[in-house]
Every structure is written in C-alpha cells, then in structure tokens.
Copies of this chain bind each other. A is one copy, B any other.
Amino acid sequence: MPRRAAWGIIGGLTPIPERTMQRRDFLLATAASAALTAPGMGWARPASRLKVGLIGVGMRGQVHLAELLKREDVEVVALCDIEAYMLDTALAMVAAAGKPRPRVFTGSDHAYEQMLADADLDAVIIATPWEWHAPQAIAAMEAKVAVGCEVVAGITLDDHWRVLRAQQRTGTPYMLLENVCYRRDVLAVLNMVRQGLFGELVHLEGGYEHDLRAVKFNSGEPGKPYGGGVEFGDKGWSEAKWRTPHSVRRNGELYPSHGIGPCAMWADIHRGNRFERLTSYASKARGLHDYVVKQGGADHPNARVGFALGDVVTTQLVCANGETILLTHDTSLPRPYSLGFRVQGTGGLWMDVNKSIYLEGRSPEPHRWEDAQGWLERYDHPLWKRFAAQAEGAGHGGMDFFVVHAFVEALKAGDPMPIDIYDAVAWSAITPLSEQSIREDNRTLAFPDFTEGRWRDRARIFALGADY
C-alpha cells in the first residue's frame, strides 16, 4: 500500500486558505449572529438517542469511540478516516461491543464531506490532525451536525474567527472536547474555588509539560505509535506523522487547552471575565534534535532538521478581573508529566506538582504545605461522586468519560454546550497569538474579544451539578 500523507498535512499546515478575514466578513457574520436567539437554533434536537459519526478514528478517536460504544443513548452510525489500519481497528471495536457496523467513509481527505451529506448524523466527533479541525467543524456546522471537536479549534487566528462565525451563522452546537476540565482534582478544586476556600482568585498556572519525544518520533510502522525510531512526517505513523511537523515549523504555545481550560473555568472566563493581554517567550530549541541524534545517530537525515519549537514556551496572560495566568508548554525534553496547575487566591493556594495545598486558617500549620489529597476528596465534585464507577477505565484516568458524557447529555437536553464556541476559540487562539508574540520579539498582544462584549453578562454553566 503506498504511503499517503495523513490528512494532507505534509503539503502545508493549513488546508484552508489563509486569507485575512475582511472587515466586511465580520460585519456580515455579526449581522447573521445577531439574528440568532438561542445557542441551539437551527439544529434539530434529537429526542433521547444521538446518531453520531467520528471523523478521525486514530489513537484519539478510538478513545472517544470506546466511550460512545458504552452508551445506550448513542448510535455510532458512521466512521471516517483515510487510514485502513485505523478503520479496521475501529470497526473491530464496534463489533466487539456488539453494536451494528457503522457506515465507513474513506478514500480521500475530503471523505468527511460525503459523510456529513449522507450519514444523517446528529453529531460528529472530530479527532483528526489539528489543521483539519477548523474546516471539518465548519463543514459539520454548515450541515447542521453538532460538533464535538478535539483540541485545538484551528491553526491561524483567522481560522478561529471562521469557526466562530460558522457557529454563529448556523446555530449548530459546537463543543471543545477539553478533557482536563473534567480531571478529578481539577473539578474538586473548581468546587473549592466556587465555595470560596481560596478566597478571591488572583493567580493561576497550568500547562502541558509532557515529554512527547516518543510520540513525535517512531519507526513509522503501523500499530507502533510510541518510540522505536526517529521518523516523523511522511515516514512516521500516527502523531509522529502529523503532529511533529508543527514542531518543525511553529514556535509557540502549541497545546494550550489542557492548561488554560481548567484555569478558564476557575476564573469564569467568558462568564464575567476574559483574557485581556498575552505575552509568550520561547527558550532555544534543543530537545528534539538531541533526541534524534541520541536515538538515531548524528548521520540520520532527521538530525539535519531544524525544529522551530522552543523547548519551553511560557505564556503570561492577564484577565479583565485582574487575575494573572501563566502557561507552560514543554514537550521536547526529558521530564516527568505535569500539567503544572496552581490556583492561588487570598485564602491560600493549591499546586499539583507537589500535590500540596495551603489554606490559611484551615491548614494545620501556618506557612506549611499540607497534602492536598484530603481536601480533594472532601470536595470531590458531584460529577465524580456520581459517575466515578462509570468513568473507571475511560481514557486519561476517567476524564475522557466525562467530556463525551457532557457533550452527549447537553445535546440531548438541548442545553448550551458546557465548553462552548467562545471557550474553544479563545483557548485555542492562544497558539497563533503566542506564535506572533514570539515572532515579534515577545511583543505583548491584546487578546481578541471573541465574545464581542458578551463575556460580561453570560452566566456560569460549566459543571454546575451532577448531570454532566
């Protein structure tokens, strides 16, 4: 079988034209969105059972598929991928679950368009390479198919505006499937934040500090995604195929949502608050080259590749309500995994890297860290209390259950998406903004207000109860 470029990425990172959005487009789009009255408008809400398709059933799509297959309120009716290996795996999963065989759409980078036209879907989950998220989400929303989109929302800043305008124009639900918002400690801390244990929040930190070197490089052999070689791009497989080229060409906070998502929920971003400014710094890039040389030898062709992505990228943000947020992206160096969370207010702080908390007047000793575990258990979020057993075995310590659950339940109820289009584009737009900041000698940039003022009056909806 001839090797094909995964989702056409190798020819260029952005499959949709990079034309700058014109003022006229904005006005038209704004006029269109102003005509909308409710988030779900234009999309026909299903009664109690969703017909769902998946665009992308690679390593990540399969995790979502596994969750969907467990549910009685979901029918997986269509799968789309360009890779036979992944489709075979996914179909075997469906068969093993005793569910009807879904229709398969493949054979072209644009097979998803056929699926959206033909498969009579209520919703689609997009788990393709990043550069396809925006065009596929836009196409789905145009087809009135609700979108559950894996992180990220788009590549360029314009992508983010286009995804937003498509959602506003069509009224089709769009949710970013940011799973870390549902991590057990993250939700427990959210619970504590909302109950005032940290006092007034002043500073937050998060990030993505994960040694991805064995994800970014492999042998290219199907079925062996992690390590075992220093190939990437055309010669790599799975994420090494499509993700690593981003490290070659781009320098920025390439994966912001796992860090910023929880911070945004803690700080009520777009619910009375918003990001105001941002500055990013990137260290020199050494880790990936070093890895290639160590694993593949100095003579390996990839030892001549220049990687643009700085090993450690830090991004400072400040919010309308005065909180500062710090993000760290660190995926090219040897290191233990950490999302580096810190939640700090006038009452104390929690940090996850040392699994510790300090709450003034509540922690046993002044000026001394306390193990956070007791607090996290005492303030376990109602969602985890209710669904912990169901979440067990789901991806990423159970949080993948919750994100799919929330998407499905909110759609069934006709409720607004718990991680909505504004969250999606603002969190994800940190990437192109950080790239610009770094490119322009760490210039500080005003953060676009994607909500166009709506952030002031929108009420909090995320994880309010025990339903989803």
Q: Which residues of A contact B (CB under 8 A)?
A: 199-200, 202-203, 211, 277, 279, 281-284, 286-287, 290, 310-312, 314, 316-318, 321-324, 326, 330, 333-337, 344-349, 351, 353-356, 358-360, 367-369, 441-444
Q: How far is the CB of A336 from chain B (nearest CB, A)?
A: 5
A344-B333, A346-B286 are known contacts. Are A442 and B277 too (CB-CB below 8 A)?
A: yes
B323 and A284: CB pair below 8 A? yes
A203 and B358: CB pair below 8 A? no
Q: 6 closest A-B pairs (Cβ-Cβ)?
A: A284-B322, A334-B360, A203-B312, A354-B354, A283-B324, A202-B283
B residues less than 8 Å from A334 (CB atoms)? 346-348, 358-360
* SS class, residues of chain A in contact with chain B: loop
B residues less than 8 Å from A203 (CB atoms)? 283, 311-312, 314, 330
B residues less than 8 Å from A199 (CB atoms)? 286, 290
B333 and A202: CB pair below 8 A? yes
A283 CB contact (under 8 Å) in B211, B311, B323, B358? B323
B316 and A281: CB pair below 8 A? yes
A333-B202, A337-B367, A367-B211 are known contacts. Are A281 and B279 too (CB-CB below 8 A)?
A: yes
A318 CB contact (under 8 Å) in B211, B344, B442? B442
B residues less than 8 Å from A316 (CB atoms)? 279, 281, 314, 316, 442
A283 to B54, CA, bound (A): 42
Q: How far is the CB of A369 from chain B (nearest CB, A)?
A: 5
Q: How far is the CB of A174 from chain B (nearest CB, A)?
A: 31
Q: Which residue of B lies closest to A284 (CB)?
A: B322
B residues less than 8 Å from A359 (CB atoms)? 334
User: Quick one: copies of this chain in the complex?
Assistant: 2
Write 21 A-B pairs (CB below 8 A) sorted by A numbering: A202-B284, A202-B333, A203-B283, A203-B314, A211-B367, A279-B279, A279-B316, A281-B316, A281-B318, A281-B324, A283-B318, A283-B324, A284-B322, A312-B324, A334-B360, A335-B349, A335-B358, A336-B356, A336-B358, A336-B367, A336-B368
A322 to B281, CA, bound (A): 10
Q: Which residue of B lies closest to A315 (CB)?
A: B316
A334-B358, A336-B367, A354-B353 are known contacts. Are A279 and B442 too (CB-CB below 8 A)?
A: yes
B residues less than 8 Å from A347 (CB atoms)? 334
B residues less than 8 Å from A284 (CB atoms)? 202, 321-323
A288 to B39, CA, bound (A): 42
Q: Which residue of B lies closest to A440 (CB)?
A: B444
A359 to B211, CA, bound (A): 13
A310 to B336, CA, bound (A): 32
B residues less than 8 Å from A351 (CB atoms)? 353
B residues less than 8 Å from A358 (CB atoms)? 334-336
Q: Which residue of B lies closest to A324 (CB)?
A: B283
A202 and B286: CB pair below 8 A? yes
A321 to B310, CA, bound (A): 13
A367 to B279, CA, bound (A): 29
A333 to B281, CA, bound (A): 27
Of A312, A356, A358, which is in contact with the most chain B CB atoms at under 10 Å from its CB? A312
A252 to B305, CA, bound (A): 41
B residues less than 8 Å from A354 (CB atoms)? 353-355
B residues less than 8 Å from A323 (CB atoms)? 283-284
A335 CB contact (under 8 Å) in B287, B344, B444? B344
B residues less than 8 Å from A348 (CB atoms)? 333-335
Q: How far is the CB of A255 from chain B (nearest CB, A)?
A: 17
Q: Which residue of B lies closest to A312 (CB)?
A: B203
Of A286, A324, A335, which is in contact with the most chain B CB atoms at under 10 Å from its CB? A324
A353-B353, A367-B337 are known contacts. Are A443 and B441 too (CB-CB below 8 A)?
A: no
A321 to B351, CA, bound (A): 31
Q: How far is the CB of A371 from chain B (nearest CB, A)?
A: 12
Q: Which residue of B lies closest to A286 (CB)?
A: B346
A279 and B444: CB pair below 8 A? yes
B residues less than 8 Å from A283 (CB atoms)? 202-203, 318, 322-324
A353 to B312, CA, bound (A): 19
A348-B334, A369-B336 are known contacts. Are A286 and B200 too (CB-CB below 8 A)?
A: yes
B residues less than 8 Å from A324 (CB atoms)? 281-283, 310, 312, 314
B residues less than 8 Å from A279 (CB atoms)? 279, 281, 316, 442, 444
